[in-house]
Every structure is written in C-alpha cells, then in structure tokens.
Amino acid sequence: MKLGVVILAAGKGTRMQSALPKVLHPLAGRPLLAHVLDAAAALGAAQIGVVYGHGGRQVPDAFPEVKATWVEQAERLGTGHAVLQAMPAMAEMDRVLVLYGDVPLIEPETLNRLVSDTAETRLGLLTMTLDDPAGYGRIVRDKSNRVLKIVEQKDASAAERAITEVNTGIIVAERDSLAQWLRRIGNDNVQREYYLTDVIGLAVADGVTVATTAPETLEEVAGVNDRAQIAALERYYQRGLAEKLMLGGTTLADPNRLDVRGSLRCDQDVFLDVNLICEGRVRIGANCRIGPNCILKDCTLGPGVEVLANSIIEGATVAAGARIGPFARLRPESEVAEGCHIGNFVEVKKSHIAAGSKVNHLSYIGDAEIGAGVNVGAGTITCNYDGANKHLTRIGEGAFIGSNTALVAPVTVGAGATIGAGSVISRDAPAEQLTLTRAPQATIKGWQRPVKSST
C-alpha cells in the first residue's frame, strides 16, 4: 500500500498579522510546516504534496532539502479545490491522507491508527467531540450511527449546529475514488468554496462506509490561527518534552522553564536548572549539572560536566568532568578536554584545550592549541587577528601564562614555559624558561602631585 500525503498550506493567516506566511512561523524553533512534514515522513509517505499559495515561493524555498512536490494554488477556492491541485502528484499512490500545514502537533501514531482503521473502506475521518463545537464542520450520522455527511458551521441548520462531533479536517481516502469525488464537488454553499468535506456525502451516496477515529489529545489536531495559539501549543509541546525527559531520568528544577528547539538527549542523572534553552542537536552526558540561564546549541557534553549559570555553549565539545562558567562562552569548533576549567567572562573560539587546563578569568582564547595542565592567567588574550587574517597560538603542556598577557599570534609558548604577568608576547617563548616583556618599574624620588593653580 502506497500512502501519499497532501499538506494544505496555502492559507493567508490574516490573524497572524505578519509578512511571513503562517506555516513558516516557528514552533519549537522550526516552521509549523516542518513539524507536519516530519509527521508525513514518520508515516513512511511514498509521496508528499504540499499545496502552497499565500507568500508564493517563500514556503517551498524554506525547505530546500525536503523531498516533496510543491503545488501552487493560485486562487484559494476551498479545501476541496486545494486537494484537487495536488492529485496529479498522487497518481501512483493507493491512498491519500490530507494534513494541514497549520496543524503542527499531529501525532504519527494517531495517523497510523486512522489509516489502519480505514483499511477495509475507501474513506476515513479523524473526528472529535467538543463541548463547544462552534466553527467546525459537524459530523452528521444516521440512526444507526453511520456517517452521512459533514456540514460546515456556516451551512448548518440549528439542529446540525447542536451536534458536538466535529471534523478535525484530517481525512484519508482511496486515491482513485477521492479524485473522482473531488471532481464532482461544487461550490453551492454559503462560502462559495469547494469543500473537501463534501466528498463524504458523495462517498456515502456511492455506498461507502465512512470509518472514523479520534485523536489522543485535542492539541494534536489544534490549528494555529494567531500568535497566541502558537504560544499555547509551544507550551504544550515543551511540557510534553519535559515530561519525557523526567521519565527518562533527568531532573528538571522547573519543567516549565526549559525550552528545547531541536533535539536534546540527556544520559542518566542530569540536572537542569531553570531557563535552559537548547537549540539544534544537544547531547548531555550522565551526571552533568547545568546551571540557570544557560544556552546550549549544537554541542556535546561528556559525563559529569558542570556548566555554571549564564553560560553559552555553541558548536563545542566539552569532555568529562570539565567545569564551564559562570558567564562563559564557548563558540564553534572549541574542544575542551577532561577536567578543564573555563571560568567567568572567558570566551573560547575554535580552540583545543587539553586535559586539566584552566582558563579561569576574563580571557579570550581564539584559534589556539593549548596543551594539558596549562594555567592561563586572568585577562590573557590571544591576539589572533591582525585585521586581515587569523593566526594560531600554541601553548605547550604545563605552561603558566601570567595574568594580563597578550599573545600576538602566530606565536608558540613552549612546554613548561612561564610568561611573566603583563607581557606582550610576539615571538616564540622557549620551553621551561621565564619569558616576560615588561618596562622596568621606576620610582621618581621627590615627585609631587600637581596642585590646582589659584587664579
């Protein structure tokens, strides 16, 4: 059975009050439509057709890597018209599932259930029962509870409006039949639209029994119309993620104050303090402790790493037992080995710092290779940039760099070397020796401070 998925994403999203097409607004750091594309992929869709319109090429252009057929719906004449535009792309499919670019949290499990519950018939609907069904298409059933049709709110009689079972919009149908029904629907209704929902009545007239399934939660079929609704779904999504982490053995100081925009994997007994933001692919090893207000992006932390408050780690690797922060910033291509200490107001960029080395205070380490057991004193700066090019600083194992040293790259400090505080090191410093550049200290005998002249 080849399953095709059609995703409707042509709507304007007026209530977003935005120049950005609605389906490109982010949820958990990714466009709404990306979440729906993921669900389609998780189902093993053999073909994905996305119907776009408002915002033009912006929507397809946002997904250069996605294997989908992008179908433009120039005029938005209704959901039925929209699906019809994508039917040529479904030519090879056995069945077609219709999803929505603005219904981001739909669960593949629910869709699998809908598809398998519909195996024996040509049409299946995902429906739900709401206390307040206002705005939704109502599911009209006969006395023996068989689905007869869907009536849109605007076209419904008072009796039909009282029905609380509603259409989520998600349907699955046998492809040939769907194509035929879609060609037969008209727009003789209050909104002058071609309603996808009219295929139900046509199917029933053809003797088809319509299967129905309900979603697990209302959030998974919730559509987004404005930014407040995105924010509500964002909180729901983040809460779910936090629950999963906790059940998997991670302690969260406050499950409401963690935001994951990407994928986060924690090994056992990790502690995450409040206000952590994770972006991209983040891996945290066992027994790590992450302090409050940190940002971790595309990084890997080995076991037992401690990240203290207000630190930012991006594109870096930190090995077991290292301690980072507070107020540290590790930038891309930084590798911090076992047991290192990177302290407050230290920025590290594209540098390798070997085991047990310490850069504890107020330093910039860029384009550097630092050996094991090095102590970099407070205020040390690698002067890696000459205004045109970047240059490398090498510091050998066991070296001691005095405070407030400027290392003018390219430069090498030998193993075991000591650099006197306040030096500007612009030539290589030999191993095991003391090197320093320092103006001799002088005291001017009898010198007096100027006094204010009286006028």
> x-or-dash pattern for ligand UD1, window 25-64, by CB under 6 A?
--------------------------x-------------
Residue with tokens 């535009």: 85
Q: Which stretch binds ligand UD1 (CB under 6 A): 69-77, 282-290, 295-303, 434-442?
A: 69-77
Is 76 a binding residue for ligand UD1 by CB under 6 A? The answer is: yes
User: 215 vs 321, which CB is nearer to ligand UD1?
Assistant: 215
Select 57 or 390, whichever has its Cβ closest to ligand UD1.
57
Window 143 to 162, contacts with ligand UD1 (CB under 6 A): 150, 152
The site for ligand UD1, by CB under 6 A, has a size of 25
Please give, one letter per residue, the 3-state secondary structure of 111-166: HHHHHHHCCCCCEEEEEEECCCCCCCCEEEECCCCCEEEEECHHHCCHHHHCCCEE
List the beta bridge partners of residue 303.
Answer: none
Nearer to ligand UD1, 229 or 251 (CB): 229
Nearest distance, CB of residue 152 and ligand UD1, angstroms: 6
Q: Distances in Å between the alpha carbon of 237 and those of 10, 35, 134, 255?
A: 24, 11, 25, 12
Question: Contact with ligand UD1 (CB under 6 A): which of 20, 46, 77, 408?
Answer: 77
Q: Is 169 helix (H, G, I), strand (E, B) or coil?
A: strand
Identify any residues that bridge with 419 across adjacent strands, giving them in sequence order.
401, 435
d(CA 165, CA 54) in angstroms, rounded, equals 31
Closer of 123 and 362 to ligand UD1 (Cβ): 123
Stretch that binds ligand UD1, among 164-172, 180-188, 348-356, 379-387 (CB under 6 A): 164-172
Is the Cβ of residue 150 or residue 264 nearer to ligand UD1 in the bound state? Answer: 150
CA separation for the pair 83, 71 (Å, rounded): 10
SS3 label, residue 26: strand
| Contact pattern from residue 361 through residue 400 relative to ligand UD1, giving x for each residue in contact according to CB under 6 A and a dash for the rest | ----------------------------------------
Question: How far apart are CB 13 and ligand UD1 at their closest, in Å?
Answer: 7
For ligand UD1, which residue of 4, 31, 78, 339 counts as binding (CB under 6 A)?
78
Q: 297 vs 76, 244, 282, CA distance in Å?
A: 39, 20, 6
Q: CB nearer to ligand UD1: give 80 or 371.
A: 80
* 289-290, strands of its sheet edge to edge: 250-252, 270-272, 289-290, 306-307, 323-324, 341-344, 358-361, 375-376, 400-401, 418-419, 434-435
Which window, 7-15, 299-307, 372-380, 395-403, contacts ligand UD1 (CB under 6 A)?
7-15
Q: Is 378 helix (H, G, I), strand (E, B) or coil?
A: coil
11 binds ligand UD1 (CB under 6 A): yes
CB closer to ligand UD1, 75 vs 120: 75
What's the rounded Cα separation, in Å, for the pair 418 and 191?
Answer: 81
List, as one string, the DSSP characters of 202-230.
HHHHTTPPEEEE--S-SGGG----SHHHH
Binding track, positions 188-207, relative to ligand UD1; x by CB under 6 A: -------xxx----------
Of 54, 341, 352, 361, the catalytic one is: 361
- Does position 99 interact with ligand UD1 (CB under 6 A)? The reply is no
Backbone torsions φ then ψ of 166, nearest 5 degrees: -125, 165
**332 token code pair:** 């891309």
Asked if 84 touches ligand UD1 (CB under 6 A), the answer is no
> Counting contacts by CB under 6 A, is residue 102 touching ligand UD1?
yes
Query: How crowded is residue 343: how many other Cβ atoms within 10 Å of its Cβ?
Result: 20
Q: Is the CB of 22 or the CB of 297 nearer to ligand UD1?
A: 22
Q: Is 62 helix (H, G, I), strand (E, B) or coil?
A: coil
Number of continuous H segments (helices) and E segments (strands) in the chain = 8, 39
Does an H or E element contain 282, and which?
A: strand 276-284
CB of 198 to ligand UD1, least distance (A): 8
* Residue of 26, 29, 108, 223 interacting with ligand UD1 (CB under 6 A): 223
Examine the residue annotation and report whether 361 is marked as an active-site residue of this protein. Answer: yes
Binding of ligand UD1 at residue 118 (CB under 6 A)?
Answer: no
Q: Name which of residues 166 to 185 contact ligand UD1 (CB under 6 A).
A: 166-169
- Of 49, 59, 79, 401, which one interacts with ligand UD1 (CB under 6 A)? 79
| Position 85 contacts ligand UD1 (CB under 6 A) | no
- Single residue of 35, 81, 122, 329 touching ligand UD1 by CB under 6 A: 81
Q: Is residue 90 packed enough to be buried (19+ CB in 10 Å), middle (13-18) or exposed (0-12)?
A: buried
Q: How far apart are CA 22 and CA 18, in angstroms?
A: 8
Nearer to ligand UD1, 195 or 364 (CB): 195
- Please identify every residue annotated as catalytic: 361
Q: Which residues bind ligand UD1 (CB under 6 A)?
A: 8, 10-11, 51, 73, 76-79, 81-82, 100, 102, 136-137, 150, 152, 166-169, 195-197, 223
